[in-house]
């Protein structure tokens, strides 16, 4: 899922001016619902406001933080990221990996009182298969869906599809009430109805999202708090300060510069795991000057990833040249792009820009993103590229990305367990999240083959081949694989940190 490209700190770097990187002071905004939490109300900090609560349309990581507590999924991940039953209690695989039979949990109702059954599953999967859905690429192998009685669904595939179970544990597996979708139409993303532990109550944009406990939830004994209130706070240091003062009980991220301070605070618990996602630059390959391959490739060599890791991430990240992080079996440690300003200048000269060029980079409107973009701006200036910075709120930024209304954009992807979900929908020609305008038949073939094998060794070989071609054609500039940080008050009991970074709150209580 897309998320703000938000490194959390900026220090002096070799050969870079500290003064040039100074960011303006941003005043702390008051939040109407941000307050010391009474027993039973859990206040949670988010790095930005959400975009939608419709799983079919969502492509933002922050959306998932809220949706994971409104919706159950057909399958779910364990804390070790193993697929487990959820609304599907068991499954069988037949026809050489082309047929999956899902056996559904009985007696579950949506929060509007309508039944969860096989027809509801088919409604949701059919909706996600539509070209207008952000899920279309991940469900493309489905040929047909059939209900067998009330609680059994048969999925027929065009070919074996290794990521399917992982996909059904993500947004494609989040079950919306068909009645609510039909009733709300285009407004459904602002008034969602699932089967999950918390019901949606209210969303005041850029202020708070309020959920309350689902009194009819099928799991006994949960949820354990009466209400969850999410607060979008773009500045991570402000978010941490609100945690320290008791206004928040959980925060979704920590700044690398604040990590030591958070760990030293006896009132806090800090959680860390290797991330599944990446941060980088999306490039619109249809727009000048990036419709020129040599210009795109010049960016690859002009950006010093090691410096960004050192000054932005405090050496906590891994530099990235691909979409596949070390936590995935598709990671290729031998794939590198050397930092070489001379090579960047040579490529620019080949492209006809020996005397320089300019472009605009869009990014999330928060002080740390501004600092990071200033750092990249200085690096590009050294090779004759003038990069203008345009800071936008995250919703506008994401809208521009989806409409391909940009030249280059600093964004990230939160990542998934299966490498197919880090690549296919972004990279194949016409993919449902491919807003770079890039397409290549050879890469398409590699990624299609990679999803049809079950052997990780075979799949890895295709991902490695695709990654090398992607680096050459450069529709993205991958920069870093940052770790995932979370922090909670010591009042919080039962919080489990999952490697995918999602905060599952049904077992959380306040002491």
Residues 379-394 pLDDT 10s: 999 999 999 999 999 8
**Residue recorded with tokens 């605070």:** 265
Task: Quote the mean pLDDT of the chain.
Answer: 92
Cβ-contact 114, 177 below 8 angstroms: yes
Q: Which pLDDT score, from 0 to 100, does residue 150 have?
A: 97
What is the average per-residue pLDDT within 433-453?
Answer: 97
Q: Which pLDDT score, from 0 to 100, does residue 39 have?
A: 56
Q: Which superfamily does 75-179 belong to?
A: Dipeptide-binding Protein; Domain 1 (3.90.76.10)
Q: Which pLDDT score, from 0 to 100, does residue 371 have?
A: 81
The domains spanning 41-54+186-272+486-510 and 75-179 adopt the same CATH topology? no
Bridge partners of 476, per DSSP, are 282
Domain definitions of the chain by residue range: 2-24+276-481, 41-54+186-272+486-510, 75-179
Angle at CA 506, nearest 5°, toward 503 and 510? 90
**Residue recorded with tokens 């690096």:** 379
CA 452 to chain centre: 24
Whether the pLDDT of residue 21 is over 50: the answer is no
CA 412 to chain centre: 7
The Cα 238–Cα 255 span in angstroms is 10
Tell me the three state secondary structure of residue 6. Answer: coil
Give the confidence band of 6 by pLDDT, cuts at 50, 70, 90. very low
Cβ-contact 63, 395 below 8 angstroms: no
Query: What is the DSSP secondary structure assignment for residue 73, as one 8-state letter?
Result: B
Tell me how crowded residue 89 is: count the other CB atoms within 10 A of its CB.
12
Whether the pLDDT of residue 169 is over 60: the answer is yes
**Pairing mode, if any, of strands 227-232 and 208-213?**
antiparallel
Bridge partners of 142, per DSSP, are 157
- Most confident range, picked from 27-31, 166-170, 310-314: 166-170
What is the average per-residue pLDDT within 54-64?
Answer: 96
Length of the chain: 511
Q: DSSP strand E in 69-125: where?
A: 75-77, 83-85, 88-94, 99-104
The Cα 213–Cα 195 span in angstroms is 11
Query: What is the DSSP secondary structure assignment for residue 253, as one 8-state letter?
Result: -
Alpha carbon separation from 248 to 36, 116, 163 (Å, rounded): 7, 34, 36
Tell me the three state secondary structure of residue 63. Answer: helix
The string of pLDDT tens digits covering residues 404-431 is 999 999 998 999 999 999 999 999 999 9
Decide yes or no: CATH 3.40.190.10 for domain 41-54+186-272+486-510. yes
The Cα 258–Cα 256 span in angstroms is 5
Q: What percent of the chain has pLDDT over 90?
A: 88
Give the global pTM: 0.88
Tell me how crowded residue 448 is: count the other CB atoms within 10 A of its CB.
16
**Pairing mode, if any, of strands 408-413 and 2-4?**
antiparallel
HSE-up of 395 (CA within 13 Å, CB side)?
Answer: 8
HEC letters along 213-245: ECCCCCCCCCCCCCEEEEEECCCHHHHHHHHHC
The string of pLDDT tens digits covering residues 261-280 is 999 999 999 999 998 999 99
CATH of domain 2-24+276-481: 3.10.105.10
């Amino acid at each position: 899922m897309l998320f703000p490209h938000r490194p959390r700190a900026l220090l002096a770097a070799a050969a870079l001016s500290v003064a040039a990187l100074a960011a303006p002071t941003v005043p702390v905004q008051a939040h109407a619902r941000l307050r010391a939490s009474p027993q039973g109300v859990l206040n949670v900090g988010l790095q930005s406001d959400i975009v939608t609560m419709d799983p079919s349309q969502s492509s933002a990581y922050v959306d998932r933080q809220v949706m994971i507590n409104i919706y159950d999924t057909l399958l779910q991940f364990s804390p070790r990221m193993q697929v487990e039953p959820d609304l599907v209690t068991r499954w069988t695989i037949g026809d050489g990996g082309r047929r999956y039979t899902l056996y559904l949990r009985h007696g579950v109702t949506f929060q509007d009182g309508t039944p969860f059954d096989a027809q509801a599953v088919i409604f949701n999967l059919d909706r996600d298969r539509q070209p207008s859905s952000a899920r279309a690429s991940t469900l493309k192998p489905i040929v047909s869906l059939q209900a067998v009685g009330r609680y059994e669904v048969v999925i027929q595939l065009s070919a074996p599809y290794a990521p399917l179970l992982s996909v059904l544990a993500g947004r494609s597996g989040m079950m919306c009430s068909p009645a609510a979708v039909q009733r709300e139409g285009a407004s459904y993303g602002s008034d969602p109805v699932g089967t999950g532990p918390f019901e949606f109550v209210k969303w005041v944009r850029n202020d708070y999202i309020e959920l309350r406990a689902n009194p009819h939830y099928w799991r006994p004994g949960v949820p354990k708090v009466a209400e969850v209130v999410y607060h979008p706070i773009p500045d991570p240091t402000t978010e941490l300060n609100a945690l320290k003062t008791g206004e928040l009980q959980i925060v979704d991220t920590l700044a690398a510069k604040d990590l030591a301070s958070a760990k030293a605070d006896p009132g806090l618990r800090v959680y860390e795991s290797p991330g599944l996602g990446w941060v980088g630059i999306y490039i619109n390959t249809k727009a000048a000057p990036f419709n020129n391959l040599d210009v795109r490739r010049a960016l690859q060599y002009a950006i010093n990833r090691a410096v960004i890791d050192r000054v932005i991430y405090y050496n906590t990240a891994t530099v990235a040249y691909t979409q596949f992080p070390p936590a995935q079996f598709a990671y290729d440690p031998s794939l590198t792009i050397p930092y070489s300003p001379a090579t960047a200048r040579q490529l620019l000269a080949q492209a006809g820009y020996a005397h320089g060029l300019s472009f605009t980079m869009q990014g999330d409107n928060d002080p740390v993103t501004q600092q990071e973009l200033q750092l990249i701006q200085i690096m590009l200036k050294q090779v004759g590229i003038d990069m203008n910075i345009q800071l936008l709120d995250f919703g506008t930024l994401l809208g521009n990305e989806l409409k391909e209304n940009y030249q280059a954009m600093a964004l990230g992807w939160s990542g998934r367990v299966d490498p197919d979900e880090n690549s296919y929908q972004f990279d194949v020609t016409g993919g449902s999240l491919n807003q770079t305008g890039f397409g290549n038949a050879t890469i398409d073939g590699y990624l299609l083959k990679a999803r049809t094998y079950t052997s990780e060794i075979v799949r890895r070989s295709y991902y490695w081949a695709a990654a090398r071609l992607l680096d050459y054609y450069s529709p993205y500039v991958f920069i870093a694989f940052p770790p995932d940080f979370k922090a909670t008050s010591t009042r919080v009991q039962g919080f489990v940190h999952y490697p995918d970074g999602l905060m599952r709150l049904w077992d959380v209580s306040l002491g």
